[in-house]
Amino acid sequence: MIDKTAREARAIRDARKEFAEALTALGLMAPFFDRTAAEIDRLIEAAVTGYIDSMQSQGARPERDGRLPEDAIPF
């Protein structure tokens, strides 16, 4: 996201708690523990931006049978 609104910036900050909970549940907190808030926010922004971009792209394409193709995870 570029030029976030105050509401968007707040939403990113508010998402840190759920992000930390997910990292902890997956046993991944250690590599992220010493990261700055700005770095964590950058990761959250990347996920949110990718999600929104995908939803908008999908919304622009009709689905033939109502199902989306099973794409491989890109990592």
Report the length, in residues, of the chain: 75
Q: What integer is the mean pLDDT of 47-71?
A: 77
Domain positions in the chain? 7-56
- What residues contact residue 40 under an 8 Å CB cut-off, 6+ apart? 16, 19, 32
Query: What's the rounded Cα separation, in Å, for the pair 5 and 11?
Result: 10
Reported pTM: 0.74
User: Are 4 and 12 within 8 A, CB to CB?
Assistant: yes
Residue, of 52 and 73, whose pLDDT is higher: 52
Of 16, 7, 11, 9, the C-alpha closest to 37 is 16
